[in-house]
Structure 1
Amino acid sequence: MKTPKKIGLFGFGTVGKGFYENLKKHPNLPAIISKVCVKRLDLPRIGHELYFTDNPDELLDDHEIDIIIELIDDPIAAKTYVEKAFLVGKDVISANKKMIGESLNDVHGWHVSYDSRFLYEAAVGGGIPIVHSVDGFLRDQEVTEIRGILNGSSNYILTQMQQNNWSFDKALSDAQLKGFAERNPSLDVSGIDASYKLSILAYHAFGEVSSIKSFEIESIEGVTKEDIKRAKAKGRKVKLVATLKKTDHEIICSVKPESIGPNDELYSVDFENNAVSVETLISGRHVFMGKGAGALPTGSAVLEDLKRLLDGYSYQVSKKVKTVA
């Protein structure tokens, strides 16, 4: 067996614990968690023997740590840790869609400037390998359009409103109780979370950085029980649909509630599940589906990125992008 790579893990919340649980199921994987950095050391942590610290430099300055896995919710701190990790030659995995989505020009610079690799599958589709697919095989198919449900929390809320005639507030509380929505759900329900993910896909599909300020974004908070009833009476469902389309002159990006019929591939995607449809010129349409929220699905995406790092994989986008808008 190879000498295990040592991991410095930032964050031990929902996704961090999900990654840890997934990693335990793969004892032959040549990687171990060496240290975990958390904000609060006083919280009880039962059922493991991990080393915890609240000092990020204990991970970043440790020459024995090869890989930094960043799973915190603070995009400013996350960016600081990621940049320092690259400066000291460590590979990085992140699930922080806000940090990546708001810093794509910097992300492109990291891909180009450093030998260290940066992977972030878990930042986009939960357990769906969409970044890996768009950046690799499908990129050579010439992507023309991406359309999907990219937020498991909002999809769960709309599904409960549709199936059980729940109010928005009741469905949101249930999503929070089950761990699909954050205590502060504003990014999820507003469409901003899906917009960050869409901008990351635009970068990998088209090699361009699109500011979410140019996106058409509409919250699901405006969806009423009456809207749901009207759609249901017509055999339709209301979904928060993210759309990315390239024309001859621009990239059009939108995230908004849409009433869709049973012939739409997104129609049957309910609860916390996500789905992404990718249209290509050469091989046509490809549809990916899977769980888009929850500890284990997102943690599994982090684990898959770890496996790819151990196999020497890196994204291809930096080799193909000539200029970044």
Structure 2
Amino acid sequence: MNEHKKIGLFGFGTVGQGFYENLKKHPQLAASIDKVCVKRIDLPRIGHELYFTDDPNELLLDPALDIIIELIDDAEAAKQYVHTALRNGKCVISANKKMIAESLKQIDQWHNQFETTFLYEAAVGGGIPIVHTVDGFLRDQEVLKIRGILNGSSNYILTQMQLHQWSFEKALNDAQMKGFAERNPTLDISGVDASYKLSILAYHAFGEVFSMSSFSSESIENITKETIKKAKSQGKKIKPVATIERTEKGIVCTVKPEAVGPDDELYSIDFENNAISVETLISGKHIAAGKGAGSLPTGSAVLEDLKRLLSSYSYQVSKAIKTVA
């Protein structure tokens, strides 16, 4: 029987609470949350008996904790917590795509340096297990191309603009009111959020770390009613598409709105849903779709990483990396 593992959780916002709710539904797992670190300990928290602290060291330096789960917004603090936890012999799970994408060179070193495991499925596709798939099942098949909708906020905005002939501003406001877009939506609508996720997938697919400056990104903010009307007259929809492809000139990374037709696998992916296709040399194209954002889908990805940790799983990225400017 597996030894019971104690978890230290950083953050109890949307994703943290989603993970907590998912974990409660799986009492058979040999793991439980022992401590939670939050910014504001004075906020009322109803419906549970968890121990809260605002001191990170209560988790990072506690020898009784086996696993650290990092679910905060602050990328700089997240990197510090993850590194310290790994250095102290704790396994770590994170959903912080900005921190991971901007620190991939160091993270590659951590994968080789530390005996404990670092997983981050929830940083890329929400409830879609794409990192695990690319790193494991498709690892030896030579990935040629990854293409998909990696940002649910942008997809939701464009869907509403096309369904109701709304302006960009009205669709964005609707997305914010429903919790699909942040109060400051810049990372989502500019394509930077999708670029972060694409760079993480590129690392696992190609074993290379790409500088964010090598990504070509276009904002959906420039999509107008006229753009949508023209696409519709051609039987197409505008979708926020992220692509990384191996070409004769090297690996090309782009994030931009594209007009896609009914024969495209992304055509029917609407609202906050995400979809990712991975094309390989041996077995062709593999497509996964599902909820790309939200507390429960993202929380479920964290839970799946926890299950993998409990079964001694770790990523297979081990070859020397090449940093691409």
State whether TM-score is above 0.5.
Answer: yes
Tell me how far 1:122 sits from its aligned partner.
0.3
* 1:287 Cα deviation from its structure 2 partner: 0.5
Contact 2:209 2:321 in 1 (8 A): no
2 CA distance for matches of 1:19 and 1:165? 36
Instruction: Encode CA deviations 1:287-312: one digit per residue, 9 max, x unaligned.
Output: 01010011100000000000000000
Q: Which of 315, 322, 325 is equivalent to 1:324?
A: 322
Task: Name 2:141's counterpart in structure 1.
Answer: 141
Q: Are positions 1:78 and 2:90 aligned together? A: no
Deviation at 1:145, TM superposition (A): 0.4
Q: How does 1:199-218 map to 2 (within 5 A)?
A: 199-218=199-218
What residue number does 1:46 align with? 46
Per the alignment, residue 295 of structure 2 pairs with: 295
2:155 is the counterpart of 1:150: no
Q: Report the aligned-residue RMSD.
A: 1.0
**Count of aligned pairs:** 323
Q: Structure 1: how far apart are the matches of 2:103 and 2:168? A: 32
Deviation, structure 1 residue 28: 1.1
Distance 1:322 1:129 in 2: 25
Q: Which residue of 2 aligns with 1:192?
A: 192
When normalised by structure 2's length, the TM-score is 0.97
TM-score of the pair, normalised by structure 1: 0.97
Give the secondary-structure state (helix, strand or coil) at the position aligned to 1:136: helix
Matching of residue 27 in structure 1 with residue 27 in structure 2: yes
Greater mean alpha carbon deviation, residues 201-210 or residues 176-185? 176-185
- Gaps in structure 1 of 5+ consecutive residues: none
* Separation in 1, partners of 2:73, 2:225: 32
Measured after TM superposition, the shift of residue 323 of structure 1 is 3.1
| Ranges of 4+ aligned residues in structure 1 off by more than 6 Å | none
CA distance in 1, matches of 2:317, 2:70: 21
Listed as ranges, the matches of 1:237-256 within 5 Å are: 237-256=237-256
Cα distance, 1:84 vs structure 2 = 0.3
Spell out, residue by residue over 1:127-159, the C-alpha distance to the aligned partner (whole angstroms, 9 max, x if none): 000000000111111100000000011111111
Q: 1:31 is matched by which residue type in structure 2?
A: A
**Percentage of matched positions with identical amino acids:** 73
Task: Kindly provide the amino acid, as one letter, of the partner of residue 242 in structure 1.
Answer: A
For residues 43 and 235 of structure 1, the distance between their equivalents in structure 2, rounded to whole angstroms, comes to 51
Q: Which residue number corresponds to residue 272 of structure 1?
A: 272
Q: 1:34 & 1:313 partners in 2: Cα distance? A: 22
